[in-house]
Amino acid sequence: MTETRRTVRLKPKAEARAIRHGFPWVYADELVTDRRTQALEPGTLAVLEDGERRALGLVTVNVKSKIIARMLDRDPEAVIDEAWFATRLRCALDMRERLFDAPFYRLVHAEADGLPGVVIDRFGDVAVIQPNAAWAEAHLDVLAAALRAVTGVGTIIKNGTGRARGLEGLAEETAVLSGGIDAPVPVRMNGATYMADVLGGQKTGLFFDQRPNHAFAARLAKGARVLDVFTHVGGFALAALAGGAESALAVDASAPALALAAEGAKATGVADRFSTRQGDAFDVLETLGREGAQFDLVICDPPAFAPAKPALEAGLRAYERIARLAAPLVAPGGYLVLCSCSHAADLTAFRNASARGIGRGGRRAQVIHTGFAGPDHPLLPQLAESGYLKAVFFRLD
């Protein structure tokens, strides 16, 4: 090291064992926050010590966040430079290249890929970085340089939006860091073509995490009438049509998202079987119920109703309501797919809320499949939050 590293220390009663066994976070009430620590700039690198002053590794510190420290490297002497980032990125890239034939995937899934608070989605020659932690914001130029060197992408976009940045005390900002782009990026998945707005769309422009669940739903969709609620840019609907669905109605509150979905339907060659309806999902489901509409396959993939524990009860009620409104729309013997991307709602709680809603909707169901995010969204075993996505497939009587 060229300079003396700052140090931070766990409180005597804090559990150092979890950190030693791979847990990547230190919460604010676990760290000694004396005047020296309080003065550290968000994103400062420091050596984390246990209560007996034994080094546990190199962390990044943000006293403005409830996650006050994030483990970067078990080596307290590690230098966080372009070479360090390149090593992490090459490891992540190697796995994705083994799994996918084309360069369209989540390249970095935050803590699970050793880059806490960092998400990188790749769209061919375009990469979108979400620096959701203060340290990543501070090292963004070096990270982008390593990303160019390792992947060869020509265009890199910073998507600095979302709830996670607010929790870190970071401002919202979207910027082109290198290259340029002036149109949505076509992405081929599961036989369909999706149009990703990497500059102005939700998150990075496309949700790669649902890819395996789209594929499973497509197997149920042959000859089916499909309703896809919270479709974003075509989500389950386009995969279902590519899989042989008779028709698909896509519902979303966002007119720009539905326009991209329609472009995707045209590019996929299924525009004649694809239709859209803009509106609040709950309102549209109620309207369809009054109209007596029936579908063979209904999918509801809402945003996170329970993004944190304080919102859990309200979120579970919202999931139950979605199930209650959607269940009557499913034709006898048809299928209902309910999804949750809420960190706070685990699989059991979400499935139980969904089952209650189906029962309140007057239907009886059996679970035929449970899906999760694809392998480009790896799960860190010590961090349950990295395995956030659940998709439960029901067959209704």
Active site residues: 341
What does the alpha-carbon distance between residue 116 and residue 132 come to, in Å, rounded to a whole number?
A: 9
DSSP calls for 7-24: EEEB-TTS-HHHHHTT--
Tokens 């349950």 belong to which residue? 384
Dihedral sign from CA coordinates of 98, 198, 391, 241: negative
* Token pair in block for residue 128: 């979108």
Evaluate whether 265 touches 292 at the Cβ level (below 8 Å).
no
Rounded to the nearest angstrom, the gap between the alpha carbon of residue 284 and the centroid of all alpha carbons in its chain is 25
Residue 311's Cβ-side half-sphere holds a number of Cα atoms within 13 Å equal to 12
Q: How many CB atoms are closer than 10 A to CB 319? A: 26
159 contact partners, CB below 8 Å, separation of at least 6: 128, 129, 130, 174, 198, 203, 204
* Number of helices and strands in the chain (H, E): 12, 19
Buried-state track 16-30, b at ≥16 Cβ within 10 A, e below 16? beebeeebbbbeeeb
Select from 23, 115, 84 the least CA-distant residue to 385: 23
* Token pair in block for residue 343: 């960190």
Burial class (CB in 10 A: 0-12, 13-18, 19+), 38: exposed
* Token pair in block for residue 23: 């847990």
